[in-house]
Amino acid sequence: MEQMAPGPFLSGAVHPQCNARYPHPSHPSESPKQNPARPPTVTTVPPAVSQVRPPPPDLPEEIRIELHPTGLRLGADLTLIRSRLLPRLMAALLQAHEDGLARRDSPCSRADLCARIAGMAELHRTQVWRAMAQLAGTALETLIAAHTPSGGPFWLHEPLLSRCRFYLDTGALAQGAALADWLGQRRTATPAPTAPLLPWTYTEALARADHLLDRGELYPARLALQQAAPHLPADDPLAAAALGWRRARIARRLGDWGALQDELRDLSSALNDNRLAAPERQQLQARIAILAAWHWYGSLGQPAAALARLEDVPPVALAFDPTLRCDHGNLRGIALRELALAQSDRDLAAASVAALGDALRSASLAGLPDALQICAANLAHGIGQLAHAGLLGDANSLEEALRWLLLSDAICSRWQLGRSSLLNTIFLLRLCGLGGFRFSAVRRLADAAGHPLQADSYAALAAQRWEACRGRQSQIPADQRCAFLLLWARHAAAECDSFTAADLIRQARLQARKLRDPQARLRYLEEARALSHQPQRA
Q: Burial letters for 301-317: b for 16+ Cβ neighbours within 10 Å, e otherwise?
A: ebbebbbebbeebeeeb
Q: Which residues, 6+ apart, have CB-to-CB distance to 263 below 8 Å?
A: 244, 245, 247, 248, 251, 291
Q: Which helix (H) or strand (E) holds 65?
A: strand 63-68
SS3 156: strand
**For residues 63-72, average pLDDT:** 88
pLDDT for the residue 190? 52
Q: Which residues, 6+ apart, have CB-to-CB distance to 114 below 8 Å?
A: 120, 121, 122, 123
Domain with CATH 1.25.40 in the chain: 200-312, 321-460
pLDDT for the residue 104? 87
pLDDT digits (tens, 9 = 90+) for 311-330: 989 888 898 899 999 999 99
Cross-strand bridge partners of residue 144:
156
| Nearest Cα residue to 104 out of 114, 113, 112, 96 | 96
pLDDT for the residue 75? 75
* Model confidence at 217: pLDDT above 70: yes
Cross-strand bridge partners of residue 79:
74
Task: Please give the share of the chain, as a percent, with pLDDT higher than 90.
Answer: 49
| Nearest Cα residue to 83 out of 144, 142, 145, 128 | 128
Cβ-based neighbour number of residue 421 at 10 Å: 24
**For residues 135-163, average pLDDT:** 86
**For residues 38-44, average pLDDT:** 44
pLDDT for the residue 396? 65
pLDDT for the residue 395? 61
| Nearest Cα residue to 340 out of 351, 350, 348 | 348
Query: pLDDT grade, residue 486 (50/70/90)?
Result: very high
pLDDT digits (tens, 9 = 90+) for 123-133: 888 888 888 88
pLDDT for the residue 267? 94
Separation between Cα atoms, residue 325 and residue 363, nearest integer Å: 8
Cross-strand bridge partners of residue 167:
66, 173
- Choice between 272 and 370, residue whose per-residue pLDDT is larger: 370
200-312: what fold? 1.25.40
* Model confidence at 365: pLDDT above 60: yes
Phi, then psi, of 185 in degrees rounded to 5: -80, -25
Which of the residue ranges 28-32, 164-168, 307-311 would you say has the lowest mean pLDDT?
Answer: 28-32
Query: pLDDT grade, residue 14 (50/70/90)?
Result: very low
pLDDT for the residue 50? 38
pLDDT for the residue 316? 87
Separation between Cα atoms, residue 393 and residue 387, nearest integer Å: 7
Nearest 5 degrees, angle CA 346-CA 287-CA 297? 40
Separation between Cα atoms, residue 33 and residue 292, nearest integer Å: 45
Q: Which helix (H) or strand (E) holds 8?
A: strand 7-8
pLDDT digits (tens, 9 = 90+) for 251-287: 999 888 999 999 999 999 998 888 888 889 999 999 9
SS3 348: helix
**Does the pTM of the predicted model rise above 0.85?**
no
Q: Which residues, 6+ apart, have CB-to-CB distance to 68 below 8 Å?
A: 80, 87, 169
CATH class of the domain comprising 321-460:
mainly alpha
Cross-strand bridge partners of residue 351:
none
- Choice between 41 and 526, residue whose per-residue pLDDT is larger: 526
Name the amino acid, one letter, at 262. D
Distance of CA 143 to the CA centre of its chain: 26
